Structure 1
Amino acid sequence: MNSTRCSRLAPLVVAAALVLSAVAPAAAISVSKDGVPGEAKVGSEVSGSVTLTELYGDYEQWTLRGETELKDVTWTVTTFDQAGNQKSKQSYDGQSFNHSLSLDSGVSEVKLTVKGTVPEVESYTYDSRPAFTFAELTQVRQGGNSNTFRTVSVDHYTEKSEQARNAIGDAEQAIDDAPSGADTADAESSLDDAVTAYKAGNFQLAINLAGKAEESANTAAKKAQQSQQRTTLLMYGGVAVVLLLVVGGGVYWYRSQQQNTSKLR
């Protein structure tokens, strides 16, 4: 390759390098959960912790911001050095907090504990369980730039909503278990109405409709099974009649042959 061509390519190589460096993925803060519940009842008190490591992959100094939908919240931030020794422990009240971190402080690990009361469900969906934000963690850089690097969600429910959801699940199972040929149209209609009632927050109606759907599905399944049994009995009866005709015909033929033989003698 001649020098003229190399000189033309050099700016392109530099530009490509700059583009790649601009889009290269930033080092991620490592987050692990400890004791965070998968689901919780509305109004109950819950707590859980997350541990942050690899804190300074992007910046040597930044602010940890935490936000939650829990009520009556207390955040506890405990920091450790590389040897695992505790360096500090500080608590914050409220649905959000800010805590400064810097490489110079010697902090290499943060344990964040969240404790609060499970909020009400704003809207109910059936395909996916209602959930709230247990903790949303954001890295805030000096100057205002921020990056939300982890959101922890927890399902929440009330006693009645869980009863309704379980009743709908039982009805769905009854419909799925019905044998082929069972007329489950009425059951499916009641099930759809139950899901609609659940989404509207009318849980007692949802429970009643789901029970109706399950009963209808079981009735349809029983009728289908009885019909199948009758069909099977008729089939077996037909086979028996055919066998009797075959056997009877065979006996008749055998006797007629015996009589013909006797006449010949």
Structure 2
Amino acid sequence: MTRTNSNRSSRVVLATVIVLLAATVPAAAVSVTGEDVPSEGEVGTQVSATITLEELYQNPQSERWQLSGETGLTDVSWTVTLYDQTGSQVDIVEPTGQSFSSVDIAAESGTAAVEIRVTGTVPAIDSYSYDPAEEFLLMELTRGQEGGASNTIDSWQTHHYTAESDSAREAIDEAGSAIDDAEASGATPSDARANYEDAIAAYEEGSFGVATNLANRATEQANSAQQSQQTQQLLIYAVGGLLVVALAVGGVLYWRSQQGPEDPLG
């Protein structure tokens, strides 16, 4: 009787574990098999990105669904091209605007892969951030099912900048590297560190000229601190070397003084 209850309890526990695993392990979605996405773009310039999707009808198993897309680019044009298993074009759709929806992806049409290309103008920056760097939504793709259920296939963020913000960021990056090098050499460039932090604050306020000047000053202070530290170390090494030589010479002279006069008769 006890063994029967134990077996029944074991089966209940096993079934519960299986249910929990099924609930917690995410189902594989549409596969992103190709990405041509810019990592950054200057505000006001035109950029393009291309994504390729395959394994279109798995998890959940469905032979028809709707593709939607969204972007933060402006003056947008999309090209959604459907291909069959041989790579031949099945259909092409060219939506406009910052989003599109309800592009049918159906197995009955022979569609085996989808290529989505978006082209548009990099948007203005609402607020500046040094770390993490400011980004905008380049593209987000969504798979929708009948009945309203949908899930995000993937999304891509891209850094955007202006000529002034990029120049200030480069100056701050250089200052950070100089401070790291100075600290690694044993220096304590506290003034440089303070100006570096003030440069970041100015950058995030949009005061790029101030940020650049502070960052350049921080770089000079860090380099100066590193040079002073290296000079000090060289002096220590030099003094140490002189002491070693002096001790050696003193030792030789002392040894000779203890030898007494030589016997001329040998």
TM-score higher than 0.5: yes
> Which has the higher mean CA deviation after the structures are superposed, 210-219 or 82-91?
82-91
Alignment RMSD: 3.0
Cα offset, 1:30, TM superposition:
0.8
Paired residues in the alignment total 260
Q: Which runs of 4+ in 1 moved over 4 A?
A: 11-24
**Selected match of 1:116 from 114, 120, 124:** 120
Counterparts of 2:38 and 2:178 in 1: how far apart (Å)? 30
Runs of at least 5 residues in structure 1 that lack an aligned partner in the other structure: none
Query: CA separation of 1:209/1:107 partners in 2, compared to 1, >3 Å: closer, same or farther?
Result: same
Cα offset, 1:102, TM superposition:
2.0
Counterparts of 1:26 and 1:245 in 2: how far apart (Å)? 82
Which one has a bigger Cα radius of gyration? Answer: 1
Q: TM-score, normalised by structure 1?
A: 0.86
The yes-or-no answer on 1:40 pairing with 2:41 is yes
Q: Name 1:137's counterpart in structure 2.
A: 141
Question: After the TM superposition, which residues 1-265 of structure 1 pair with which residues of structure 2 at under 5 Å, given as runs?
Answer: 25-57=26-58, 58=60, 59-98=62-101, 99-178=103-182, 180-254=185-259, 257-258=260-261
Superposed CA deviations along residues 104-142 of structure 1, whole A, max 9, x for unmatched, are 222121111100001112222222222111111111112
Counterparts of 2:249 and 2:52 in 1: how far apart (Å)? 81
Runs of at least 5 residues in structure 2 that lack an aligned partner in the other structure: none
Task: Specify the SS of the correspondent of 2:258.
Answer: helix
Query: CA separation of 1:77/1:181 partners in 2, compared to 1, >3 Å: closer, same or farther?
Result: closer
Task: Specify the SS of the correspondent of 2:215.
Answer: helix
> Which has the higher mean CA deviation after the structures are superposed, 176-185 or 95-104?
176-185
Q: In the alignment, residue 76 of structure 2 is paired with which amino acid?
A: V
Counterparts of 2:54 and 2:191 in 1: how far apart (Å)? 56
Task: Specify the SS of the correspondent of 1:84.
Answer: coil
- Percent of aligned positions with the same letter in both sequences? 41
Counterparts of 1:37 and 1:245 in 2: how far apart (Å)? 70
Cα offset, 1:23, TM superposition:
5.6
